Amino acid sequence: MLAEEEFFSVQQVDEGVFLCRERFYHSGNRANIWLVQGSTADLVIDSGLGIWDLAKFLRNRHLIGEKPVQAVATHVHFDHSGGLHQFENVAIHANEADALESGDNFETVTMVTNSEIASEWKADDYRVIAVKPTRVLTEGDIFDLGNKTLTVLHLPGHSRGSIGLLDEEAKVPFSGDAVYDGSMIDWLPYSSVNDYIRTCERLLQLSAVVKKVCPGHFGMFDGKRLHQLATDYISNANACHRVLSGCIKGIASVILRGHNTSNLPCKCLYFTCCCCYCFG
Ligand SMILES: [Zn+2]
Ligand SMILES: [Zn+2]
């Protein structure tokens, strides 16, 4: 039996900033989990699947525990919100608070397969556990960690409640899935191309000042790359892209509804994803 310490990797990326990853989840959906330590409080940004005990891992490593801890999901998707139930103080954007509280595994786009998990585990049993948020966020809200403050930026498009958290002094945004160094996904049930374009316009403004971006997936990148990613999305979001995105959204919605009620084969969605990546 493995201890919690072995279920996650952790690396320090800056002073008081740590990146954790789930070691036994082998999937492009594996999210980055960020810990920002402040002088009076700590902030856990995103929480992974929730299969393994992140809170216990962080406590055992003495990374949290001495100060109040706040967990926040950059959005309600399962790869970011699944571990929130392990924390006492949980925050999410107002647009997705109901989905989290009711355990709506359609809006969380819950989709995990046995083959992605390198341990004895049954994907059929996996669900995002309902959590009542203790804090509901809107644009401009602040997380005060003492020597650091992070400001909530509402960045919809990928999902309706997607947020970024901006450390203005350090010039570092934690961007969730609003932007990462890969194809932006705008075809999930509550995605919106129009919202995503507005978010990218905002990211363009931000790109002039940011030092580095701590994204929801993959590696960190600088303001220049942020500018490129946002520009690419806006210039690709033409009529053809909208039609394709709309079609995939319809298919993905049907599959997700089926998966979360009657367990249709997950491969369908991955096929859809591949189509999106190839042609989107
Ligand atoms: Zn997402
Ligand atoms: Zn994600």
- Tens digit of pLDDT for each residue in 200-235? 999 999 999 999 999 999 999 999 999 999 999 999
To the nearest whole percent, how much of the chain has pLDDT over 90? 82
Which ligand is nearest the CA of 30, by number?
2
Three-class DSSP labels, the chain: CCCHHHCEEEEEEECCEEEEEECCECCCCCCCEEEEECCCCEEEECCCCCCCCHHHHHHHCCCCCCCCEEEECCCCCHHHHCCHHHCCCEEEEHHHHHHHHHCCCCCCCCCCCHHHECCCCCHHHCCCCCCCCCEEECCCCEEECCCCEEEEEECCCCCCCCEEEEECCCCEEEEECCCCCCCCCCCCCCCCHHHHHHHHHHHHHHHCCCCCEEECCCCCECHHHHHHHHHHHHHHCCHHHHHHHHHHHHHHHHHHHHHHHHCCCCHHHHHHHHHHHHHC
Q: Distance from the CA of 73 to the center of ligand 1, in angstroms? A: 10
Q: Distance from the CA of 176 to the center of ligand 2, in angstroms? A: 7
Checking if the pLDDT of 188 tops 50, the result is yes
Nearest to 47 by CA among 16, 12, 8, 17: 8
Contacts of 270 (CB under 8 A, 6+ apart): none
Nearest to 186 by CA among 222, 153, 155: 155
Amino acid identity for residue 5 in this structure: E
For 4, list phi and psi in degrees, rounded to 5: -55, -35
Checking if the pLDDT of 254 tops 50, the result is yes
Which ligand is nearest the CA of 162, by number?
1
The structural domains of the chain, with segments of one domain joined by +, span 4-236
Q: Distance from the CA of 211 to the center of ligand 1, in angstroms? A: 23
Q: What is the pLDDT of residues 258-277, one digit of tens each?
A: 776 544 444 444 444 444 43
Q: Distance from the CA of 180 to the center of ligand 2, in angstroms? A: 9
Q: What is the pLDDT of residues 23-34, one digit of tens each?
A: 999 999 999 999
The per-residue pLDDT for 124 is: 83
Which ligand is nearest the CA of 217, by number?
2
Q: Distance from the CA of 75 to the center of ligand 1, in angstroms? A: 7
Checking if the pLDDT of 4 tops 80, the result is no
Question: Which CATH topology does 4-236 take?
Answer: Metallo-beta-lactamase; Chain A (3.60.15)
- Per the prediction, the chain carries an average pLDDT of 91
Q: Distance from the CA of 31 to the center of ligand 1, in angstroms? A: 9
Q: Distance from the CA of 39 to the center of ligand 1, in angstroms? A: 30
Q: Distance from the CA of 186 to the center of ligand 1, in angstroms? A: 9
The per-residue pLDDT for 271 is: 43
Q: Distance from the CA of 13 to the center of ligand 1, in angstroms? A: 23
Do the beta carbons of residue 77 and residue 190 sit within 8 Å? no
CB neighbourhood size of 2 (10 A): 10
Q: Distance from the CA of 182 to the center of ligand 1, in angstroms? A: 13
Q: Distance from the CA of 29 to the center of ligand 1, in angstroms? A: 8
Q: Distance from the CA of 177 to the center of ligand 1, in angstroms? A: 5
